[in-house]
Chain A
Amino acid sequence: MSLPRKQKKEPADLAFWQERHGVICSRKGGWVVGEAVYSHGYSLLDELVGKASFFQVLILNVTGRLVERNVADWLENIFVCLSWPDARIWCNQIGSLGGTMRTSPVAAVCSGVLAADSPMYGAAPLLAASQFIADALLKKNNGMTVSEIVKLQQRRPGMPPNIVGYARPVATGDERIPAMKQVSKQLGYTPGEHLTLAFEIEEYLLEYFNESMNIGGYVAGFLSDQKFNPQEIYRMCSMVVNSGVHACYVESMDNPPESFFPLRCDDIDYQGPRPRQVPFP
């Protein structure tokens, strides 16, 4: 009896990895010592500093496109709009808790920003909201009605649809939208096809489910009209809550340690097992 020959192992194709080994290749830019710091075809220090706004450069670094100043100003106003110095809001309270425990401002603010990477609020819903409105517009252009688009988001007939960009966890309505509508008007914008559809959907939801658009839905619609894709919108708004977290951090940092909203033992409602003896293994 002869055993089958042991197959010779083929060497792996490592070309993909070898090409990248020991080298960083960038299409974004970088620093050429003694020459320039390049960003997407611009010299940062010669062409952008003093000429472009921070938000123009942020959008440039995210998307590779240097947009008109009014687009950047609009985005800056969204950051202003979400700069609530209210320590009850989850991400902001993390800033307060960092301050009261004497973390650095960077640690506290990064932690608060990270907390707002939540499907419930902050930057993350912008991804889903932008994907929804882009998809909804495709459906509308293919002949679907608003009612049919909404019905696709219902788990069961009659149940409120689950659409990111509509409804809020704490309040009904969204006072930030009128403020941003005013900004849009001042900057010379009129609603494009995404935002127009977003309002049509809101009208339907208000009539049948008493639910209205939230700021995420408005931002998604507006920025989609400016030709940004969902990932770009999410990325450029990553830090959108940072200013409010800063405020809350600073206030608790400037007060005695652990004095921010201290809890007594009975503030926690323990509902676990009764006391029991630990068995030996």
Chain B
Amino acid sequence: MKFASRTVTKIWEEVPAAHNPFLADRCRCHGYDLAELAKKRNFVDVLYLLFRGELPSPAQAQMLETLMICLINPGPRHPATRAAMNAGVGKTNAVHILPIALSVLGGAHLGGEEVEAGIRFIRRHQHAEAAVVAKKLLASRENSEGDCHIAPGFGSRFGEIDPVPQQMAALLYELSGRGKALQWGRDFAHSLIKEGMGWLATGVAASVFCDLGFLPQAGAGLFQLFCAPGLLAHGLELASPYTSITAMPFLDEEHYVIAQEAKKRTC
């Protein structure tokens, strides 16, 4: 196996300072000077540029920014947010709150891994009729406890269709930048209604990422990134020195039930 002599990047160019090659005099993102970008473009444009290599059209930028707002906070009941809150209330070093919460948000259930799988799923099926794909998947569904994700990004939450992702998808669908993946996802979600399933937030994100040309792996991390503000805000709210460790419930023994077999040897 032959390793590279230097790390290659097509993203970022650092022009060395004349007097010190360890310092950069200026930085360019895909050829654009960073300071010039800061003067002329907004954050979403530069974010898109960073990952896609070109600046977005106004319609693409609007899609991305709308998705970012939709995903900005998974809410205080989401397990990733609760991880941030547990860290906060336990007075974990504040710099750890976000990595902790993002690890939980990386999972295959309503997390980054599901977004990645969702992009692959939509890419693979968007040329087939959504209703036919849905019918086939529903026919092969296996009964299991809890929620069913019939495909990555689509399914039930707490036994029903989760209203908020449907609202997100409808909002994004009204935008001029909507693409084939969002359209296909809408048809697919519609085919699941009778089964009590629909869009999940991960599916909405996956379809927009697909339409904007992001690779599946990028979708996983971008989903984490876009949800990060809410996770951090909730964690910090409880990390405040004015908030005590008692600010979140700690279950009493009546509500922490240990199965008999876990205690049997000494009972």
Interface residues of A (CB under 8 A from B): 12-14, 16-17, 22-30, 32-33, 36, 38-43, 46-47, 103-104, 106-107, 110-111, 114, 169-170, 262-281
Chain B positions 161-177 with a Cβ under 8 Å from a chain A Cβ:
none
Contact pattern, B 229-267, Cβ under 8 Å of A = 1, otherwise 0: 000000000000000000000010101111101111110
- Residue contact A281 to B41, C-beta cutoff 8 Å: yes
The distance in angstroms between the C-alpha atoms of A222 and B95, with both chains bound, is 40
Select one of B12, B28, B256, B264 contacting A275, CB under 8 A. Answer: B28
- Residue contact B263 to A29, C-beta cutoff 8 Å: yes
Most interface-central of B4, B39, B257 (chain A CB within 10 A): B257
Number of interface residues of B (CB under 8 A): 57
The distance in angstroms between the C-alpha atoms of A262 and B22, with both chains bound, is 8
Residues from chain A with a CB closer than 8 A to the CB of B196 are 12
Given contacts A24-B255, A27-B261, A43-B265, contact A273 B159 (CB under 8 A): no
Select one of A12, A22, A27, A277 contacting B255, CB under 8 A. Answer: A22
Contact pattern, B 10-22, Cβ under 8 Å of A = 1, otherwise 0: 1111111000011
A33 CB to closest chain B CB (Å) equals: 7
B211 at the interface (CB under 8 A from A): no
14 examples of A-B residue contacts, CB within 8 angstroms: A25-B257, A29-B263, A32-B263, A38-B263, A41-B266, A107-B93, A107-B99, A111-B99, A114-B103, A264-B16, A272-B53, A275-B13, A277-B36, A281-B58
B37 at the interface (CB under 8 A from A): yes
Given contacts A13-B159, A14-B159, A276-B32, contact A24 B95 (CB under 8 A): no
The distance in angstroms between the C-alpha atoms of A29 and B265, with both chains bound, is 12
Other A-B pairs beyond A14-B159, A267-B7, 7, CB < 8 Å: A107-B96, A264-B21, A266-B21, A269-B8, A271-B10, A275-B28, A277-B32
